[in-house]
Structure 1
Amino acid sequence: MTDTAVSGDDVVVRAFIGSFTSAGGRGVTAVAVDPESGALTVLGATDAVPDPSYLALGHGPGGRTLYAVSETEPGAVAALDISADVPRPLGGLRPVDGDGPTHLALAAGHLLTANYGSGSVSVLPVRAGGTPGPVASVLPHTGSGPDRDRQLAPHAHQVLPDPSGNWVLGVDLGTDSVRVCALDPATGELRVHDETRLRPGTGPRHLAFHPEGGHAYVLNELAPTVTVCRWNAAAGALEPVGETSVLPEGAGDGAAPTYPSEVVVSHDGRFLWTANRGADTLSVLALDATGERATLVTTVDCGGHWPRDLVLDPTGRRLYAANERSGDVSWFDIDPETGVPRRAGSLAAPAASCVIFA
């Protein structure tokens, strides 16, 4: 469901941009979205949360509540009231008992954060007013990988519930693995049920599920590839079945390294897109009818430099890329037959880190 704000007689569709305040970003910015063109217009912003690199939406007593990580050391989270044009903090920052949280998600009445710096996942209860309470539990990850620069220790990069709502998955770049966990809704305890090992040195960063729920696609940051996995929600089992490059053959020869950042699957399950930092491209992959085979179709320019995040709008007709180092959010119209995005515009957004639709 798309959130709206009413101003006079006009109904305004909204989205939110997170950005690094330490690099000149506005913090959390509310934007109006033109439903016809996809163009963004700034409504208001708050820098009350330092370095809100990732955002998530939940329901508070007055409607929608926005949650933000503070990617700092030590790390924290915050809740914001988004009923008006300028996001308003609800209470102060809440410590997560971990360093450098890069991602957060809501599950079973709790807010979970993936703490990259400390290699852990924190669980905080969401209180009646929508604000996060004190940390209920912290699940430390263990292990390492072969890349001595990036994988000497665990680095939890994403945490999210599966489509069934019965499991929580934690993607760890440092250990080349995805942990499938069970969350106790009464206590907030997070327990590892299973751990799926991926190819050593790939550095998994984020995953996205197929809309039918039977497959997941793990985007690897250290090897510019997507690992296709079968997902068995009944057993809580993730099984890798293939790996596909997100770059054309020979594209990386002699070039600067490419570090993919985000993976998105189309609403109809026909296409998959990735954002690629370094190459500064968006990749288009076609998925077969089973969802088990991904084939690279093409890549297009991301519209800026260092695309840190990529998201579909609620209609599934447009992609939005948060280009961190060029300081903009660019949007793209998607060809419904080929899945290829065509750049349609951009909004200046210094140190942009993520975009989320309300």
Structure 2
Amino acid sequence: MKKWYLVSVLCCLILFISCKEESNSKLFVGTFSENGSEGLYSYSFNTKTGKLANKKVEANIKDPSFLAISSNKKHLYAIEKTAEFKGSKGAVIAYEIEKDGLKEINTVGTGGGYPCHVGISEKGDFLAASCYSDGSLSIYKIGENGSLQQNPQYIDHKILDTIKTSRAHASLFTPDGLFTADLGLDAVKRYTYNGDKFVKGNQPSLNLPDGAGPRHFKFGVNEKFLYVINELNSTITVFQRKENGEYISLETKSTLDKDFKGENFCADIHLSKDGRFLYGSNRGENTIVIFKIDKETGKLTLIGRESVQGDWPRNFAIDPSNAFLLVGNQKTNNISVFKRDVEQGTLKFLDEVKLPSPVCLLFLDL
């Protein structure tokens, strides 16, 4: 009797350990409302095997083209293309993340046209929506329950340049304030919070060459280095932070193979969680370019590039385990899954799932 009891206990223990080893994260996917898309989706992602499963429509909304999750993992914010709000061509929807799905908290208009990005402060008290078509920012205060407050601060980039056309594309908060990539002005604009509102920082602009088109950017460890991917001239520019808090340009690297002759538009950029490797997406060449980052200087060394196994990689994401990289290919309606060599930084294609017009991938680490 005791023998069978011990065997049963051992079997249960093995089963328990096996279940614990099956680690899953949740992947949210924003899409363009075309090709049969139903809006905002989710999948479960196995961080051991790299498999996507359990596809679910989380919210039936129009063009949820960008998503952001609060640092406490309690709230998700999604862009929506809508004319519902007076004087606005878009909105931001706040959701509470529940065990069985998303619960809408509230929706607010952006004021500006065609919002394409949202960024949340680390404390979760501010959200910035970047509006592409009229080059503006809408900065919202966030309530304790995750709700977006009315009457956001509105910053108009059109007044900053009378020659170029402003195209605000991405905004990220830092301990210093707020950084915004403006693709049309060829600059990353800086703002600081004065206790009442966001105003121009001491270094109001990080300027890039004419026609560069800065689209997205990421900070290295401790914000010592800043990496900007430029859509229009297919480059990545590295900035270094000086002791006075200002950033200076260090170098600019092409994202394209020297033999590529076609048209290309860069899109997304991410760093591995250990800060050793940088990845950028090429729409046209249809690759993920891979660079190694020098820990001391912040400079980049080209490792190589990998086909995205699709067309028009608008967005991609590294999973919470740091062992996989997933790419949303807008024009071929698929998400490609790659195994990532954490020591070498290289990628190996594993699998794909079909989904209409995926344009934003965002992991929730469960």
Q: Shared fold by TM > 0.5?
A: yes
Structure 1 residue 144 displacement after superposition: 5.6
Partner of 2:257: 248
Partner of 1:183: 193
2:138 aligns with one of 122, 128, 152: 122
Structure 1 residue 80 displacement after superposition: 1.7
Q: Specify the SS of the correspondent of 2:70.
A: strand
2:149 aligns with one of 121, 133, 145: 133
Partner of 2:31: 19
The question of whether the paired residues in 2 share the 8 Å contact of 1:226 and 1:246 is answered with yes
Q: Which moved more, 1:167-176 or 1:327-336?
A: 327-336
Q: Where in structure 2 are the equivalents of 1:21-40 lying within 5 Å? A: 21-40=33-52
The Cα offsets for residues 157-192 of structure 1, whole Å up to 9 and x where unpaired, read as 000013xx23210000000000111134x54x2212
Q: Where in structure 2 are the equivalents of 1:237-316 lying within 5 Å? A: 237-251=246-260, 253=261, 255=262, 257-316=263-322
Partner of 2:339: 333
Counterpart amino acid of residue 117 in structure 2: H
Q: Distance in 1 between matches of 2:50 and 2:220?
A: 25
Q: Distance in 1 between matches of 2:71 and 2:224?
A: 27
The question of whether the paired residues in 2 share the 8 Å contact of 1:28 and 1:52 is answered with yes
Q: Distance in 1 between matches of 2:151 and 2:249?
A: 33
Partner of 1:205: 215
When normalised by structure 2's length, the TM-score is 0.85
Partner of 1:345: 351
Shift in CA distance, 260/71, structure 1 to aligned 2, threshold 3 Å: farther
Partner of 1:75: 90
Partner of 2:323: 317
Partner of 1:4: none
Counterpart amino acid of residue 172 in structure 1: D
Q: Specify the SS of the correspondent of 2:151.
A: coil
Q: Distance in 1 between matches of 2:290 and 2:23?
A: 33
Structure 1 residue 11 displacement after superposition: 7.4
Structure 1 residue 40 displacement after superposition: 1.2
Q: Distance in 1 between matches of 2:303 and 2:46?
A: 29
1:155 aligns with one of 161, 167, 174: 167
Partner of 1:3: none
C-alpha RMSD of matched pairs (Å) = 2.2
Shift in CA distance, 138/23, structure 1 to aligned 2, threshold 3 Å: farther
Counterpart amino acid of residue 88 in structure 1: K
2:99 aligns with one of 71, 84, 89: 84
Q: Which moved more, 1:8-17 or 1:73-82?
A: 8-17
Gaps of 5+ in 2: 1-18, 83-87
Q: Specify the SS of the correspondent of 2:223.
A: coil
Counterpart amino acid of residue 183 in structure 1: Y
Q: Distance in 2 between matches of 1:303 and 1:349?
A: 14
| Structure that is richer in helix per residue | 2
Q: Distance in 2 between matches of 1:343 and 1:310?
A: 14
Partner of 2:12: none
Q: Specify the SS of the correspondent of 2:206.
A: strand
**Higher alpha-carbon Rg:** 2
Structure 1 residue 43 displacement after superposition: 4.2
Q: Distance in 1 between matches of 2:246 and 2:31?
A: 35
Q: Specify the SS of the correspondent of 1:87.
A: strand
Partner of 2:109: 95
Partner of 2:14: none
Number of aligned residues: 335
Shift in CA distance, 235/28, structure 1 to aligned 2, threshold 3 Å: farther
Gaps of 5+ in 1: 1-7, 147-151
When normalised by structure 1's length, the TM-score is 0.87
Question: Once superposed, which parts of structure 1, at least 4 consecutive aligned residues long, lie more than 3 Å away?
Answer: 8-12, 142-146
Q: Distance in 1 between matches of 2:190 and 2:45?
A: 36
Q: Specify the SS of the correspondent of 2:98.
A: coil
Structure 1 residue 273 displacement after superposition: 0.6
Sequence identity percentage: 26
Q: Specify the SS of the correspondent of 1:21.
A: coil
Q: Distance in 2 between matches of 1:135 and 1:331?
A: 41
The Cα offsets for residues 253-277 of structure 1, whole Å up to 9 and x where unpaired, read as 2x2x111101111222221111111
Partner of 1:104: 118
Q: Distance in 1 between matches of 2:314 and 2:303?
A: 21
Structure 1 residue 22 displacement after superposition: 4.4
Structure 1 residue 289 displacement after superposition: 2.8
Counterpart amino acid of residue 220 in structure 2: H
The question of whether the paired residues in 1 share the 8 Å contact of 2:23 and 2:46 is answered with no
Q: Where in structure 2 are the equivalents of 1:55-74 lying within 5 Å? A: 55-58=67-70, 64-72=74-82, 74=89
Counterpart amino acid of residue 207 in structure 2: R
Q: Distance in 2 between matches of 1:273 and 1:161?
A: 21
1:354 aligns with 2:360: yes
Shift in CA distance, 216/27, structure 1 to aligned 2, threshold 3 Å: same
